[in-house]
Amino acid sequence: MPTINEKLTEEIRTQAKALLADGTVAAVIGYSRGSLPMTVKPTVVRASEDCGKLVWNSFCVLNLANYLPEVLKSVEPPRGPRDPKPEGPLAKVAVLATGCWSRNIVVQTQEHQVDRDRVVVLGVASRGMVSRRKVEEQFAGREILAVEEFDHDLVIKGADFEEKINRWSVVRDNCQTCTRPDPVLVDVRIGEPASERKNPNPFQQVDKIEEKSSDERWAWFTSEFSTCIRCYACRNACPLCYCPTCFVDDAKPQWVGKSLDAVDTGLFHLLRAYHCAGRCTDCGACESVCPMGINMRMLTKKLNKDVLNLYGMEAGMQPASPLPLTTYATDDPQKFIVTEAKAVKEGE
């Protein structure tokens, strides 16, 4: 019996092949096999005969929407920065999308980064992606040489061991708390749709930090980010980060110091998180790619919570309305704004 993922892989290959063969799309963004256990390579396929290398499994942790604007551009006829847009319809691109990734495509469309008409969404319900880090921590000190995936278990193999573990137990935190595994955009359905998951409080991890005293919160923040090496993998893996020059890279003026000063590192993370407010879908790509195992996702998750509680909005769920931070209403809650009067009162 083929596993769920083997069936999905087969379907993805068939659909991608058909879309490329009849010229509906010029490229398909998917995943191919990785060179290490629990890794996959994001891959752009441009020829129908190459579709056999596409795979789907529990280790597809990067958000493929991240590649969409660039791949869309790559299939346009080449033109200079000031040349007008060519006449006629431009070639399309197909992209695999789970619940969160599809919501990112909605945000990209709202922000005019992506032309929805040029995208064919291969919608696939996510069963939750596995955290390679969680598995490695469970097997600390032992080298994992192969991981075989079944529907509900993973078999972890090393030179002198073979152990079965429950798949859900090592699914990423963001996936475990996710309520919408099914894509909100589907042009071509892969596999079966999934229903909403019940979760009375998806923000439990954030609440735990909020419950701390301000000193403890500061201790958490400084400790959590102390090992950041400023490689910016978290930023670069994020489909929301598309500024041509990021504020941390800018050298003229230099907004943030460039070395490993705790203040600079903290500033980078706080500002990055704020830039994602109302736009982040909690896809977890940032956290998954961090080489140092930092849980920077807690910051964006906190902002997701605030945007939901203050404005009743969730990224990618209201395609027709403006993004929460690009608009305002006269009755917007503003209790969090520190006014001079309030500051004086508190100081008394």
Partner 1 sequence: MKVFRLSQTELDNMVQGWSQNRRVYRPAAGRQQSTHADCAPGWERVAASTPLTLPPGPSKTSVKTFLFPQPETMQTYTLKSSDPDKGLMKEPQKATEKQIIVGLRPCDARSVKLNNLPFQEDPFYQVNLARTVMVGFTCSAMCATCFCDQMGGSPMGTEGLDIAISQVDGSFIAEVLTPVGEELTAEIRLTPAEDSEINALAERRKNSPQADFAKLDVLKGRDLNTLYKAALWQTLGESCINCGACTFNCPTCYCFDVQDEVVRGQGRRIRYWDSCMFPLYSLHTTGHNPRGQKMQRTRNRFMHKLKYFPERYGLFSCVGCGRCVKDCPVNIDIREVMSDLLAVE
What residues make contact with partner 1 under the rule CB under 8 A? 34-36, 39-44, 62, 66-67, 70-71, 74, 140-141, 143, 145, 222-223, 226-233, 235-237, 245, 249, 251, 254, 257-260, 288-289, 291-293
Quick check: 290 binds ligand SF4 (CB under 6 A)? Answer: yes
| Full DSSP string of 214-227 | HHHHHHHHHHHHTT
Q: How far is the CB of 240 from ligand SF4 (least distance, A)?
A: 14
> Out of partner 1, ligand SF4, none, which partner does residue 193 contact, by CB within 5 to 8 A per kind?
none
Here the tokens at position 84 are 């007008």
Quick check: 190 binds ligand SF4 (CB under 6 A)? Answer: no
Contact 119, 93 (CB under 8 A): yes
Among 229, 243, 260, 270, binds ligand SF4 (CB under 6 A): 229
DSSP-derived secondary structure letter, 169: G
Beta bridge partners of 30: 43
Beta bridge partners of 189: 123
d(CA 82, CA 155): 54
Rounded to the nearest 10 degrees, the angle between the axes of helix 214-225 and helix 262-275 is 100
Quick check: 231 binds ligand SF4 (CB under 6 A)? Answer: yes
Strands of 119-124's sheet in order across: 40-45, 27-33, 93-97, 119-124, 188-190
Task: Return the half-sphere exposure (C-beta side, CA atoms, 13 A cut-off) of residue 180.
Answer: 18
- Asked whether the bond before 253 is cis by omega within 30 degrees of 0, the reply is yes
> Out of ligand SF4, partner 1, none, which partner does residue 241 contact, by CB within 5 to 8 A per kind?
none
Q: How far is the CB of 169 from ligand SF4 (least distance, A)?
A: 24
Quick check: 26 binds ligand SF4 (CB under 6 A)? Answer: no
d(CA 163, CA 60): 22
> Out of ligand SF4, partner 1, none, which partner does residue 34 contact, by CB within 5 to 8 A per kind?
partner 1
Among 294, 299, 303, 313, binds ligand SF4 (CB under 6 A): 294
> Out of ligand SF4, partner 1, none, which partner does residue 266 contact, by CB within 5 to 8 A per kind?
none
> Out of partner 1, ligand SF4, none, which partner does residue 39 contact, by CB within 5 to 8 A per kind?
partner 1
User: Which residues are at the interface with ligand SF4 (CB under 6 A)?
Assistant: 228-234, 290-292, 294, 296
